[in-house]
Structure 1
Amino acid sequence: MNSSNKKTGLVALLGLAGGLFAWYKYKTATPEEKEKIKNKISEAGTKLKETYQDAEARIKDTYTEVEDTVADNYAKLKNNVKNEADKISG
């Protein structure tokens, strides 16, 4: 077993131990403590959802800006090519 595999195994073991400890703490918590934990998880979920929605909106806005810029540049280039073609033929 190489060093990388040992580190991966150790991280997995620590993650499992942390999960088991969290499960034990939740199972032995008072109803009030369980409610606090549920509220924290709910708040984290809400923040995650809001962050996702903000990122999605920014991506859409950026895409629209890029699309508009490309369309404008294409129209200008097309017009320039037409003008040059007219000069050459005229």
Structure 2
Amino acid sequence: MAVLSTNWRPNDKQLKSFGCIAFVVFGGIAGCIFWQQSFWGREMAAATANGVALGLAIAAALCLGLSFVRPRVLLPLYWL
């Protein structure tokens, strides 16, 4: 018997929660990269850090928006 079990078919409420959590996680990582210009000790050029932070911020906004409009679209990200 497994210690943890994964729900491979979440309902819409669970996907909304997942989208909100993904928003916080992606947004937090984007903020850290933007302000520190590094990720896990790896220094980045300012332009690179800003581009990566912008991409993660867009991903965060998409996760939040889709979680309220069409939560089923988040299923592939949930399965990762």
Taking structure 1 as the reference length, the TM-score comes to: 0.31
Relative to its length, the structure with more strand (as a share) is: 2
Larger Rg: 1
Taking structure 2 as the reference length, the TM-score comes to: 0.34
